[in-house]
């Protein structure tokens, strides 16, 4: 507060000119230091640095609480400035928190968005009718990357409702991607199971046609029948599974087929191959019978020669 001139004169009279001059000089130095601290506080307020502002205000307060600073004619101006800046401190803290939160939100989005984009591209790259292990593994890894990125920012959910809603929508995309992963893995199992058995069965049937030895032909057809029967048997569970039942999968040859259609195809192939196998088997048995009869005849001839 400003000290009246008459009071200053009285103090000078009572204390002596030299002592009062010294106190006045000290008061001026204190006021200068306080002014510097207040300048620091104001700069920190502009830069939204509440900690620096608080430290500067504490330093200014230490100067302003000195008794002799009231001897400085413009000390009241420093007191008023201190009060004004101290009153601004909560607002500066709030603005800094808001800015820091916005920076965190932007950083979180910058981390999540590219991962979501990569996940969606991986999801698009998986053909429903011809999934592969490599594509499914890639999609699963990218979906987990999105999930981890969102889970890292769970504390932001309670700080910003808009971000929470947006982040949940990204997690929903993850859930759909993981559903695609589950469906894809079932598809891979179908393609690597009954479809492969069907392909191998047809290959053995074709191989049987090229074999001249009846025994080799019969073996190939018997193995073909086994493979085709396995195709029919293992395809049925995929028809009952909601993830694969209605999907038409790419076949090694011909049009796409659902599990039910492949089961029916393999049943028809089994009947055809089994008919061929029975014919060849009958020929094999006839050949065996002929060989047996011939061997018996030769044995009888040897016995007759031996008796003579």
Same domain, 277 and 250: yes
| pLDDT above 60 (res 244) | yes
Residues spanned by the domain of 262: 193-307
pTM score above 0.85: no
Per-residue model confidence as pLDDT tens digits over 156-188:
999 999 999 999 999 999 999 999 999 999 999
- Does 92 share its domain with 15? yes
**pLDDT (average), residues 78-106:** 92
Mean per-residue pLDDT for 231-238?
A: 95
Q: Kindly state whether residues 55 and 11 are assigned to the same domain.
A: yes
Sign of the CA dihedral running 272, 275, 276, 278: positive
**Other CB atoms within 10 A of residue 201 CB:** 24
Q: What is the pLDDT of residue 259?
A: 96
Q: Which is more confidently placed, 280 or 5?
A: 280
pLDDT more than 70, % of the chain:
94
101 assigned to some structural domain: no
Total Cβ atoms within 10 A of residue 134: 10
In this structure, the answer to whether residues 201 and 157 fall within a common structural domain is no
- Residue 102 contacts by C-beta under 8 Å, 6 or more apart in sequence? none
Give which of 202, 210, 204, 209 is closest to 253, Cα–Cα.
202
* pLDDT at res. 233: 95
Q: How many alpha carbons fall within 13 Å on the CB side of residue 80?
A: 6
| Nearest Cα residue to 238 out of 218, 257, 210, 221 | 257
Among 184, 214, 232, the domain boundary falls at 184
**Higher-pLDDT residue of 211, 285:** 211
Same domain, 207 and 287: yes
Q: In the prediction, which pLDDT does 308 show? A: 67
Listed residues 167, 184, 201: the one ending a domain: 184
Same domain, 91 and 15: yes
Please tell me whether residues 13 and 90 are part of one structural domain: yes
CA distances from 228 to 204, 222, 237 (A): 10, 10, 16
DSSP reduced 3-state for 16: coil
What is the C-alpha separation between 43 and 50, in angstroms, rounded?
A: 10
Number of domains observed in the structure of the chain: 3
The string over 228-243, giving b where at least 16 C-beta atoms fall within 10 Å of a residue's C-beta and e elsewhere, is bbbbbebbebbbebeb
Mean pLDDT value of segment 143-149: 97
């Amino acid at each position: 507060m400003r000290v009246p001139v008459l009071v200053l004169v009285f103090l000078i009279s009572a204390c002596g000119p030299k002592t009062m001059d010294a106190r006045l000089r000290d008061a001026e130095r204190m006021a200068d230091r306080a002014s510097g601290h207040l300048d620091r506080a104001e700069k920190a307020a502009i830069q939204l640095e509440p900690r620096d502002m608080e430290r500067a205000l504490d330093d200014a307060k230490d100067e302003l609480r000195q008794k002799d600073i009231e001897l400085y004619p413009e000390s009241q101006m420093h007191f008023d400035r201190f009060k004004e800046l101290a009153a601004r401190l909560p607002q500066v803290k709030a603005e800094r928190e808001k800015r820091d939160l916005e920076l965190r939100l932007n950083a979180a989005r910058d981390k999540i968005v590219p991962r979501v984009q990569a996940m969606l591209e991986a999801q698009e790259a998986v053909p429903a009718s011809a999934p592969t292990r490599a594509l499914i593994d890639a999609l699963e890894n990218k979906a987990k990357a999105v999930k981890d990125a969102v889970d890292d920012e769970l504390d932001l959910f309670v700080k910003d409702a808009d971000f929470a809603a947006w982040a949940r929508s990204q997690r929903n995309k993850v859930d759909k991607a993981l559903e695609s992963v589950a469906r894809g893995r079932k598809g891979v199992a179908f393609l690597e199971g009954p479809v492969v058995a069907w392909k191998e069965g047809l290959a053995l049937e074709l191989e049987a046609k090229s074999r001249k030895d009846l025994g080799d032909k019969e073996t190939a057809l018997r193995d073909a029948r086994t493979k085709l029967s396995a195709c029919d048997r293992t395809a049925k569970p995929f028809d009952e599974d909601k993830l694969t039942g209605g999907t038409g999968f790419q076949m090694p040859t011909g049009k796409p087929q659902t599990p039910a259609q492949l089961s029916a195809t393999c049943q028809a192939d089994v009947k055809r191959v089994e008919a061929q196998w029975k014919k060849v088997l009958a020929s094999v048995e006839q050949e065996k019978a002929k060989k047996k009869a011939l061997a018996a005849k030769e044995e009888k001839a040897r016995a007759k020669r031996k008796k003579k």
